[in-house]
Copies of this chain bind each other. A is one copy, B any other.
């Protein structure tokens, strides 16, 4: 019989469990609020796109330690027996206030506040940070790509290059959320109802004696949905051969969909390809480009007038290559009703349970955010609060939004962010103000904390 496998409850840093034991043994388990926020935006980013909430909530709702988990922990000889005997009864019983997936978020703004007895709210740190960290980073990168493409089609081709297939799965989800047209990842497409997209590989071409034969064979199998990859040998020759196949398809009442360029000087080649296709009367056949592209490349190609109708974006999107991590912190901000903080050099945290308000200008564009304490009453002009209750007593408070709903939500949000914050390089810094009450709480908590240490 196979040994029972440990469960996902163990996806936690060891210290979450040792601290849990110390809390438990000393009856130190008052309600504690943790705030999840990033300290700074990565380079060249003027905003982030919040995502990953549903995975985090799933973890909280399903958290329970199995017999196999406890048996493993017991084998370490590190934990107290009574604590381990208690552990299987642990559930996440707390509440979560959060932004909605697809909301824009800026530095220091909590995207999630988790309030629960400290053993519970502490224990889920690793899983919550990982889920939200991954998807927010990828959604942000993907939004930049969509913005750079200025309405042209962008599709996600990163499945082979993401950091694991879980990352590939979540990338497909969040890139669709921010406006991608589809994914090449069939599994993710199936799971999330995203349009699956694809062309053909160089290996297909090179497995046949000639490129022309490979094109015809593929087009025979997919007479109305073929995109032919033209750069296996000589690109412009490849486009001419694709045009021959395209004419044969047209004569038979079908249509070649597109050609794909995957190497070389994409500006020059796209111009040459467009000319070859147009001269063959194939003005409806689209020119797609791929091959290590990111938002900067797309911007440069379009600025130079490249006649490219769509982009397949892989590696650099898939790992958020220019900013592969964000500086998230999951910080205790309130314990047993009192605001608390840490003062570590360069990493001080903000005390107290918080709320974020987003103000719009006369044109409905986002103008500034206000970071406030949760229980403050702000004037109406300061805008709507972004954090809402999404979990109470360990259960979601409402139904999970669908991916199309989130996609619409993001599109509406993003349209309201002025371009100066969306620029790909050195965007302006979006203003986030702190209320007086927040600052005062911070000052008081700092003084109180320092004074207490001197006792």
Asked whether any CB of chain B lies closer than 8 Å to the CB of A441, the reply is no
- Residues in B neighbouring A349, C-beta threshold 8 A: 202
CB neighbors of B among A328-370 (8 A): 328, 330-332, 335, 340-347, 349
Question: In the complex, what residue of chain B is closest to A13 when comparing beta carbons?
Answer: B184
**Among candidates B25, B72, B197, B344, residue contacting A262 with C-beta atoms closer than 8 Å:** B344
Chain B nearest Cβ from A220, distance in angstroms: 7
Is A160 a contact partner of B126 (Cβ separation < 8 A)?
yes
**Among candidates B157, B170, B200, residue contacting A164 with C-beta atoms closer than 8 Å:** B170
**Among candidates B72, B78, B125, B345, residue contacting A160 with C-beta atoms closer than 8 Å:** B125
Asked whether any CB of chain B lies closer than 8 Å to the CB of A162, the reply is yes
The distance in angstroms between the C-alpha atoms of A15 and B288, with both chains bound, is 15
The distance in angstroms between the C-alpha atoms of A289 and B442, with both chains bound, is 28
The distance in angstroms between the C-alpha atoms of A170 and B165, with both chains bound, is 12
Segment with Cβ contacts to B, from A230-238, A298-306, A418-426: A230-238
- Residues in B neighbouring A69, C-beta threshold 8 A: 190
Q: Kindly report how many copies of this chain are found in the complex they form together.
A: 2
Is A26 a contact partner of B221 (Cβ separation < 8 A)?
yes
Question: In the complex, what residue of chain B is closest to A291 when comparing beta carbons?
Answer: B347
CB 8 Å contact bits of A36-80 with B (1 = contact, 0 = none) = 000000000000000000000000000000000100110010101
Asked whether any CB of chain B lies closer than 8 Å to the CB of A437, the reply is no
Is B125 a contact partner of A201 (Cβ separation < 8 A)?
yes
Question: In the complex, what residue of chain B is closest to A182 when comparing beta carbons?
Answer: B14
Is B453 a contact partner of A237 (Cβ separation < 8 A)?
yes
Segment with Cβ contacts to B, from A97-105, A146-154, A203-211, A404-412: A203-211
The distance in angstroms between the C-alpha atoms of A233 and B205, with both chains bound, is 63
Segment with Cβ contacts to B, from A317-325, A381-389, A428-436: A317-325
Question: Chain B CB within 10 Å — which of A80, A217, A341, A345 has the most?
Answer: A345
Is B453 a contact partner of A200 (Cβ separation < 8 A)?
no
Is B346 a contact partner of A197 (Cβ separation < 8 A)?
no
- Residues in B neighbouring A325, C-beta threshold 8 A: 161, 315-316, 318-319, 321
**Among candidates B191, B211, B217, B324, residue contacting A319 with C-beta atoms closer than 8 Å:** B324
Asked whether any CB of chain B lies closer than 8 Å to the CB of A296, the reply is no
- Residues in B neighbouring A262, C-beta threshold 8 A: 344
Chain B nearest Cβ from A418, distance in angstroms: 30
Chain B nearest Cβ from A105, distance in angstroms: 18
Asked whether any CB of chain B lies closer than 8 Å to the CB of A242, the reply is no
Is A186 a contact partner of B12 (Cβ separation < 8 A)?
yes
- Residues in B neighbouring A452, C-beta threshold 8 A: 209-210
**Among candidates B11, B319, B332, residue contacting A159 with C-beta atoms closer than 8 Å:** B11
Asked whether any CB of chain B lies closer than 8 Å to the CB of A81, the reply is no
10 closest Cβ contacts across the A-B interface? Answer: A14-B198, A203-B332, A15-B198, A163-B163, A164-B166, A10-B187, A324-B324, A166-B166, A22-B221, A129-B160
| 27 A-B residue pairings within 8 Å (CB atoms) | A6-B191, A8-B165, A10-B187, A15-B201, A17-B198, A18-B218, A19-B201, A19-B204, A19-B218, A26-B220, A126-B160, A127-B165, A130-B164, A130-B168, A134-B164, A160-B330, A202-B331, A202-B332, A203-B331, A206-B340, A206-B341, A232-B343, A235-B345, A263-B344, A263-B346, A264-B346, A320-B324
